[in-house]
């Protein structure tokens, strides 16, 4: 008899608040550390004056359907390394997330491997890196407290957290707020992405029928959560709405 791993069970582990190391390749570890990952706890642990740039952008396009993660890291100087001002970009696209998963104890990796998502990695040259950082700053990453205070898992939003110039920054943008549609960094990231998977938009959501009934039917089958975002990061324990 094969054990069945239900998303609701995993959610209980997630809400326990395990600390993230920044590695989300393993789907079980990802579920257990997801909120810590979103909060950039692994970035915060090394952010100090003189620390290299590290920025994480997460695009939630309905958590159960598609999540996209961009990790930007300033590489250490090395004689044979990238030129100064370069950044390493790792992109991971996840989804759709199954409501449950049947795992064979004899070969658990066969079921879990596809849930690691599609990954692309590349070095961004100084010119593109400078333009991307300028776009992030223009979008508000360097411009004060988050303009959006609540993020729901079944909605569309961007969350950015990072260590820039030795200080932690956090910002969030959610649809249908005007700031979400006006973002400039996603277009630059899309051009550098490398996964071949388009960024999902609110226009890709299915329409028709009674939206309230449709949403209620989905909610019965999905794990949902709500995040409260403040100047210091994700505030309080994440909770199911």
What is the pLDDT at residue 120? 97
Percent of the chain exceeding pLDDT 70 equals 76
What is the pLDDT at residue 29? 86
Of the ranges 19-23, 45-49, 138-142, 220-224, which one carries the lowest mean pLDDT score? 220-224
Q: What is the pLDDT of residues 102-152, one digit of tens each?
A: 554 554 443 444 466 899 999 999 999 999 999 999 999 987 888 888 999
**Looking at the predicted structure, is the pLDDT value of residue 2 above 50?**
no
Per the model's pLDDT, the better-predicted residue between 25 and 38 turns out to be: 38
What is the pLDDT at residue 106? 55
DSSP string computed for 176-235: TSHHHHT-SHHHHHHHH--S--PPP-GGGS---S-HHHHHHHHHTTS---EEEEETTEE-
Q: In whole angstroms, what separates CA 143 from the centre of its chain?
A: 20
Confidence of residue 241 (pLDDT cuts 50, 70, 90): very low
Q: What is the pLDDT of residues 144-186, one digit of tens each?
A: 888 888 999 999 999 999 999 999 999 999 999 999 999 999 9
Residue 148 φ then ψ, to 5°: -115, 130
| DSSP-derived 3-state class of residue 169 | strand
Q: Which of 200, 154, 152 is nearest to 62 (CA)?
A: 154
| DSSP-derived 3-state class of residue 74 | coil
What is the pLDDT at residue 107? 44
Q: pTM above the 0.85 mark?
A: no
Residue 115: how many other CB atoms lie within 10 Å: 17
Q: What is the dihedral of CA 187, 188, 194, 199, to 10 degrees?
A: -20
């Amino acid at each position: 008899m094969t054990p069945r791993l239900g998303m609701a069970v995993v959610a209980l582990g997630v809400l326990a608040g395990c600390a993230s190391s920044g590695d989300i390749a393993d789907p079980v570890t990802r579920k257990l550390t997801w909120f810590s990952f979103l909060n950039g706890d692994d970035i915060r642990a090394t952010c100090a004056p003189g620390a290299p740039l590290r920025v994480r952008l997460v695009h939630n396009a309905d958590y159960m359907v598609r999540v996209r993660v961009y990790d930007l890291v300033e590489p250490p100087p090395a004689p044979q390394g990238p030129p100064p001002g370069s950044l390493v970009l790792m992109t991971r696209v996840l989804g759709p997330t199954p409501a449950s998963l049947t795992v064979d104890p004899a070969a658990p990796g066969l079921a879990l491997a596809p849930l690691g998502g599609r990954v692309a990695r590349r070095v961004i040259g100084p010119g593109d890196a400078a333009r991307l950082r300028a776009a992030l700053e223009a979008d508000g990453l360097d411009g004060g407290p988050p303009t959006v205070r609540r993020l729901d898992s079944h909605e569309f939003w961007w969350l950015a957290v990072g260590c820039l110039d030795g200080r932690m920054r956090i910002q969030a943008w959610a649809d249908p707020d005007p700031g979400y549609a006006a973002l400039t960094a996603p277009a630059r990231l899309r051009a550098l992405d490398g996964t071949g998977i388009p960024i999902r938009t609110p226009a890709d959501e299915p329409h028709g029928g009674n939206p309230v009934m449709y949403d209620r039917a989905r909610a019965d089958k999905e794990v949902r959560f709500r995040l409260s975002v403040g100047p210091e990061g994700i505030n309080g324990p994440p909770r199911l709405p």
